[in-house]
Amino acid sequence: MRFEQPLELASGARLAGYELRYETYGTLNAARDDAVLICHALNASHHVAGRYTGQPEQVGWWDNMVGPGRPVDTRRFFVIGVNNLGSCFGSTGPMSIDPATGRHYGASFPVVTVEDWVNAQAGLADRLGIERFAAVMGGSLGAMQALSWTIQYPRRIAHCVAIATTPRLSAQNIAFNEVARTAIRSDPDFHGGDYYSRGVVPKSGLRVARMIGHITYLSDDDMAEKFGRSLRTPDYAFGFGAEFEVESYLRHQGDKFSEYFDANTYLLITRALDYFDPARAYGGDLVQALAPAQAHFLLVSFTTDWRFSPARAREIVEALVVNGRQVVYAEIDAPHGHDAFLLNEPRYHRAVAAYFDNIAAELAG
């Protein structure tokens, strides 16, 4: 969907006009109060659930969570997935043509924040005639957007469902992002971000970035369980090939990612992660930052998530409780680290399903 109204960004820059690619599932009811917005994290898109005709492999990134009979049941809710600004799956981003120059935005695409994305999503909601979401939901960076909705548009969100998230990145989180960005920026095919017109892609940098990411998405135990020290060769080969299964796995993940993801988008989205810190405007006081929120909350964390550990989710829960908000918090004992939010962990899915049952009951009542 095309927006011609300029968007003022947190940086002070302005996007004159932009496209937001979105997808919907189910039907908006007559009261227009059963809409659920699903926000994506680093590498996902508007394609949340289901498959496109003729593309059986392109399954939605949260298909186990959203769909008919799923925890977020599209027979009961009208679900919207939207690709964020700066991303590379159809919404305006660095790969798009800047109408002012007739060339790719490239490095000139402005740095966008979680708050900017929420503003753009609110514009989309306006156009779709949705005054108030039954829920805004996301995992990881997606959950930051859901949280930010409760602060930026407290009257437009009934429920916030925030999975595997944190009120702000730690120094270690930022450090991992910075290493990934350094790998991308130092790839000679990056050309300062203006690689599109040169017909090259900084694949080596993207590959390294994704490999680093993957290590932080899995838990140490999970990697031990999945790969251990298993070799793909009968014995040590005394070389630098992919001898250990874990090396082969990471190389494969890196290769796959470098085929479809945009390097400038990687920089932009990790920066949005770094910058997210609603308490910053209040001297670090998360209670004050969350004071405007009116929504009800479901927060979920996973015990082996060392990227955004349960302690970080509890920080949000405590700030909400101090503000008198209604909060359900589930800390799920799951072995899969940060990635658990995308996996079919039964207790986690049951908790989300039960929460959405209650939302449906509220709407029916």
Tell me which residues touch its own copies (CB under 8 A).
10-13, 110-111, 168-172, 174-176, 178-179, 181-183, 185-188, 204, 207-208, 211-212, 214-215, 218, 220, 223-224, 226-229, 236, 238-240, 242, 244-247, 250-251, 254, 267, 271, 274-275, 277, 280, 306
Q: What is the closest distance, in whole angstroms, from the C-beta atom of residue 109 to its own copies in the complex? A: 11
**Residue 193: partners with Cβ closer than 8 Å, 6 or more residues away:** 94, 106, 107, 108, 263, 264, 267
Q: Which of 47, 104, 336, 338 is catalytic?
A: 338
Tokens for 119, please give them. 């503003």
Q: What is the closest distance, in whole angstroms, from the C-beta atom of residue 10 to its own copies in the complex? A: 8
**Torsion sign (Cα): 344, 147, 41, 121:** positive
Nearer to its own copies, 3 or 308 (CB): 308
Nearer to its own copies, 34 or 115 (CB): 115
Q: Is 338 part of the annotated catalytic residue set? A: yes
- Go through the chain and tell me how many residues it has: 365
Q: What is the closest distance, in whole angstroms, from the C-beta atom of residue 168 to its own copies in the complex? A: 7
Q: Which of 341, 359, 354, 361 is nearest to 64 (CA)?
A: 341
Q: Which of 96, 140, 148, 219 is catalytic?
A: 140
Q: Is 140 part of the annotated catalytic residue set? A: yes
Q: What is the closest distance, in whole angstroms, from the C-beta atom of residue 162 to its own copies in the complex? A: 20
Nearer to its own copies, 68 or 188 (CB): 188
**Residue 210: partners with Cβ closer than 8 Å, 6 or more residues away:** 180, 253, 254, 257, 258, 261
Distance CA 304, CA 41 (A): 19
Q: What is the closest distance, in whole angstroms, from the C-beta atom of residue 99 to its own copies in the complex? A: 21
DSSP 43: S
Nearer to its own copies, 224 or 322 (CB): 224
| Dihedral class, residue 325 (left if φ above 0, else alpha if ψ from -120 to 50, else beta) | beta
Strand 22-25 to 35-39 pairing: unpaired
Nearer to its own copies, 240 or 361 (CB): 240
Distance CA 6, CA 4 (A): 6
Nearer to its own copies, 74 or 177 (CB): 177
Q: What is the closest distance, in whole angstroms, from the C-beta atom of residue 149 to its own copies in the complex? A: 21
Q: Which residues of 131-161 are buried (b: 16+ CB within 10 A; e: fewer)?
A: eebbbbbbbbbbbbbbbbbbbbbeebbbbbb
Distances (CA, A) of 285 to 163, 296, 309: 21, 20, 19
Q: What is the closest distance, in whole angstroms, from the C-beta atom of residue 26 to its own copies in the complex? A: 37
Q: What number of other Cβ atoms are within 10 A of residue 175's Cβ?
A: 11
Q: Which of 45, 305, 336, 339 is catalytic?
A: 305
Q: Is 305 part of the annotated catalytic residue set? A: yes
Is residue 274 within 8 Å of residue 169, measured between CB atoms? yes
Nearer to its own copies, 75 or 256 (CB): 256
User: So which residues are the catalytic ones?
Assistant: 140, 305, 338
